[in-house]
Every structure is written in C-alpha cells, then in structure tokens.
Structure 1
Amino acid sequence: MRIARVATPDGPRTVRVADEGLIPIADPYAAFAAGVPVQDAGDPVRGSLLPPCVPTVVVGIAQNGPDHPSPVQAWLKSPRTIVGPDAEVRLRRDAGTTVAEAEVAVVIGRPTAGLTARNAHEFVLGITAVDDLSSPERAASDPRNFESKSGAGYTPLGPVIDTALSIDDDLPLGLVVDGADRALTSAGRLPMSLRECLAYVAGWSELGPGDVVMMGAPFSQAPVRPGQCVEVRVGDLRLRTLTV
C-alpha cells in the first residue's frame, strides 16, 4: 500500500494511492499496531500532497563505517523543517554551500520498546524518500548539526509511505538536479544496515508512530543552488522540490 496525506477543503486526510484515485483510509498506525488491514474510509478525494506523516521525532543517522570509534551516530532534526512534495525551499544565504542528500526514510509504525536488529521490521510501517538538506560548512563551529540542518524547509519528505518496501531491500538511490543525474547509488552501500541503525536508535530513545529515521547518504549527495529542481529517488519513489 502507498499511504499519503492530502490537503482537502475539509482538512488533511490520510489516503491510499490507488488506480481509482486517492482513497481515504482509517488510521494506518492503529491498524499496524493491531495487525489488521487498513480499512477504507470514504470516497475518493482530491487535493495536494502533504508530507506523508507528521513525526514527533526526526532522527538523522551518521553512517561512520565499521572502522570509526562509533560506527553509527544519531542526531535530531526539527520536525518543523519538514515540507511535502513539490515544495519551494528557500536556501539560506548565510550558511555557505547547501548540499542535497538523497536518503531512505524509515517511518515507524508503533512504539519501539523491544526493537532489536532482528525484529526491527516488525516496527516499521514503511519507507519514504527524504532530502536531508544540509549546510556542511557550518560543521566546524556546529558539531551537533543544529545550524547545518535547521533551515526552514530543509527536510522535504514523501511523496508517499510505501508499506511494500522492506528495510532489507537494497533500494536504488538517486539524486537528480535539473534533470541531470548527480548521484546513482543504493542503500546497500551504507556501512551499517538499516536494522542495525534502528536498533541503535531504539536502544537509546523510544520512537513512536509516524516518527522518521533518515538513514544516511551513501555517496548520494551534491551541492545545489537557488533556482534548481532537485529530485530524490528511492526505488521508484520520486520526491521533487524547487530551491529558491
């Protein structure tokens, strides 16, 4: 199932994307926790796509590799930086070069108490695409990634949550800028598996329904400048934004 959120005249609706249109559905997180199918909840609707989830917590993963003293490190990014598909993102002019990073985003389906690397898939609702926009030149004075990650709109997310994708899939990753390929890679090039990263995060801090873990950029980043169209590809998901 592909789950999206749509802005309608009656407010945001959660829908499944189907051949017959955007079909409203009941709470997918409640259904996931109960282990039952998600039920339809109305006739097809129209509207513009919103971010596919509303996380309380967004975690970023630094994939340092097995030879680093800490192969995996996590940091927090404000959920208020999230924007949906086709958003315009104003790049900061006071933070140096902006880099787009194409990443797998894992959407948590239920509270992660008890999550381990072995059973991590039991806590994952699905996967979506994220562009973890960053200002790496701030790193020298900002080792905690606050300034470098906090630009307004610096977390484009979407367009849908694909519940059929697995955290074990070697998902193709791509970054396309103004129609030109800037990076072609896959999740299999991450030093640490998605399972190991989720277990690391859950071992320190419990996550909940709708929370997002951004899994890192395995050679899937490139500088961007105002006026460019940026597309992040995760499998066959396509997330587009326009920088201004």
Structure 2
Amino acid sequence: MKHARIRYENAVHEAVEHDGALRLADGRVVGFDAVDWLPPLAPTPRPRTILALGLNYADHAKELEFKAPEEPLVFVKGQSALIGHRQKTFRPAGVQFMHYECELAIVIGRTARHVKRDDAYDFIGGYTVANDYAIRDYLENWYRPNLRVKNRDTCTPIGPWLVDAKDVADPMALALRTTVNGQVTQQGNTRDMIFDAPFLIEYFSRFMTLSPGDLILTGTPDGVVDCQPGDEVVTEIEGIGALVNTIAAAA
C-alpha cells in the first residue's frame, strides 16, 4: 500500500493512494492537486534519526574521483531538511554548484538493535524516495562534509509515498531515474549499491538503536548536474514513486 501525509482544508491527514487519487482516513477522496504534500512519515515523540550514505554507488564515487569506500561513509541530517512532494527547495545566492541526489530511503518499522543481516528486512517498515540536494561550494571534504552541504532547511524533499515493505519484492533491484525539466540526467539501479539495505541495518544496529520512523538514505548513482532556480527536478524509483521538486532562489 502507498501511504501519504497531506494538508487539506487546514488540517493534516493520513491518506492512501486510491485509483489515482487520495483516500483520507475519514473516507473522503481528493485529487492530488487539491492538497499540500508533507513528508510521508508519521510524527514521532522524539527527534527522528536520519542517517545518510555518501559514495554508496561505485559509479558515483568514480564520478567524484574517489575510490569506492571499504566501510560506509555516513553523516547525520536534521529533520528541518525534510519537505514534501511538489514543494520548493531554495538555492542560496551566489553558489556555483547545487545538485540533486536520487536516493532510496529506508524507513525503520520496529526497534532494531544487534540485528543480523539475515533478519534485517524484518525491521524495515517501508520505502520512500528522497532527493538529498548538496551544495558543492560548501564541501570541505567528501569524507567529512560541512553541515551546510546537507543540513539546510528544505534541502531534502521526500515522498510522495511511503510504500509498505511487504509490497516491494526486491528493494535491491529497483531502477532509479532523475529528470531536470523533462530531460533524463541520471539513471541507475539499487543493485549497484556498495552497501545494501540488509548490510546497513546490521551495521548501524551494532552500535546504535534504530527506532520506528528513523530514516536511512542509501546514496545516489552517478549523473548529478547543477540545478538553477526555476528547474523542476523529478527523482523517481521503480515501484516507489516519482518525487517532484522545484528549485527556487533564496530571498
């Protein structure tokens, strides 16, 4: 099932996809264009942990002239970076290179601690699409990115759907694609991850507790290009959804 979280008639609603529209919990059915889309994640009583992978596709590492890492390169993101489908991401004035990153996002479904690889999928609640924008101007070191590269408000659109894990037959064999103003600029497949989903669940849960609602952004393949104000960027993952985002100039 595909779940969404939206704002409609001045209230926040949980919804599911229904015949090309949205069915609210109270039974009403509304069109995609009638709502404001929010990140498709239930609110949590504590700060949500967001873990993000760098250089998790060998072709992207090569694109950036780095060798593939032997251990996950991970950084932590703040929740204020997250926005929903069809929302705007702001490009700061004066920057020279701001690019998208189409990523499969894992949503933890139950508390995970010391999980074995063979059991990892039992702890995944679902999947969504993330577009984790980066500003290369601020980058100090690919292995230790400056906070401004990845933790700015509005820099990580996510959605439109949270797809139940049971409805994704093989998350490690999904096609990824990005278009900018309708032109295909990035293509890849989750099978090309260096560290796959089961590995990551096992790896993180060895030393930290993963809680329901936590996110793991699993990295992007090669093909990133600079995006300018006015550009419409669509990051799409097979079976998960197409996330639409527009770049706007910061005030």
TM tier relative to shorter chain? 0.7 to 0.9
Q: What's the offset of the Cα at 1:188?
A: 1.1
**Equivalent-residue separation in structure 2 for 1:173 and 1:129 (angstroms):** 10
Matches within 5 A, 1:77-96: 77-96=77-96
Q: What's the offset of the Cα at 1:175?
A: 0.9
Matches within 5 A, 1:164-203: 164-166=167-169, 168-203=171-206
Q: Are residue 76 (structure 1) and residue 76 (structure 2) matched?
A: yes
Look up the match of 2:14. 14
**Equivalent-residue separation in structure 2 for 1:220 and 1:60 (angstroms):** 19
Matches within 5 A, 1:1-244: 1-9=1-9, 11-19=11-19, 21-24=21-24, 41-46=25-30, 47-53=35-41, 54=43, 56-63=48-55, 70-140=70-140, 143-163=144-164, 164-166=167-169, 168-236=171-239, 237-244=241-248
Distance 1:10 1:223, change over 3 A: closer
**Equivalent-residue separation in structure 1 for 2:198 and 2:70 (angstroms):** 16
Kept after mapping to 1: 8 A contact 2:54/2:74: yes
Q: Please list the CA deviations of residues 209-240 of structure 1 after superposition, one character each: whole Å capped at 9, or x if unmatched.
A: 22111000122532211110000011141000
| SS in structure 2 of the partner of residue 119 of structure 1 | helix
Tell me the matched-pair count.
228
**Equivalent-residue separation in structure 1 for 2:102 and 2:169 (angstroms):** 17
Q: Please list the CA deviations of residues 17-38 of structure 1 after superposition, one character each: whole Å capped at 9, or x if unmatched.
A: 12284334xxxxxxxxxxxxxx
Q: What's the offset of the Cα at 1:162?
A: 1.1
**Equivalent-residue separation in structure 2 for 1:204 and 1:175 (angstroms):** 34
Q: What's the offset of the Cα at 1:6?
A: 1.5
CA RMSD of aligned residues (A): 2.3
**Equivalent-residue separation in structure 1 for 2:236 and 2:228 (angstroms):** 19
- % identical equivalent positions: 21
| SS in structure 2 of the partner of residue 118 of structure 1 | helix
Instruction: Give the counterpart letter for 1:51 in structure 2.
Output: P
Kept after mapping to 2: 8 A contact 1:167/1:194: no
Kept after mapping to 2: 8 A contact 1:65/1:71: no
Query: Gaps spanning 5+ residues in structure 2: where?
Result: 59-66
Query: Gaps spanning 5+ residues in structure 1: where?
Result: 25-40
Q: What's the offset of the Cα at 1:151?
A: 2.1
